[in-house]
A and B are shown apart, each in its own frame.
Chain A
Amino acid sequence: EIVLTQSPATLSLSPGERATLSCRASQSVSSYLAWYQQKPGQAPRLLIYDASNRATGIPARFSGSGSGTDFTLTISSLEPEDFAVYYCQQRSNFGQGTRLEIK
Chain B
Amino acid sequence: EVQLVESGGGLVQPGGSLRLSCSASGFTFSSYAMHWVRQAPGKGLEYVSAISSNGGSTYYADSVKGRFTISRDNSKNTLYLQMSSLRAEDTAVYYCVKDRGYCSSTSCYMDVWGKGTTVTVSS
Contacts and interface: CB of A to CB of B under 8 A. Distances in A.
Contacts of B44: 87, 94-97
B47 A34 contact: no
A46 B111 contact: yes
A50 B107 contact: yes
A49 interface: yes
A49 B113 contact: no
Contacts of A43: 95, 113-116
B113 A44 contact: yes
B98 to A, nearest CB: 10
A87 B47 CA distance: 12
B74 to A, nearest CB: 23
Contacts, number: 57
A61 B107 CA distance: 24
Given A92-B50, A92-B59, A46 B45 contact: no
A91 B106 contact: yes
A93 interface: yes
A38 B59 CA distance: 24
A92 B106 CA distance: 10
Interface in A9-51: 29-30, 32, 34, 36, 38, 43-46, 49-50
B107 A32 contact: yes
Contact of B106 (A32, A46, A55): A32
A94 B100 contact: no
Contacts of B113: 43-45
10 contacts: A30-B106, A34-B110, A43-B115, A44-B45, A49-B100, A87-B44, A89-B109, A94-B44, A96-B44, A97-B44
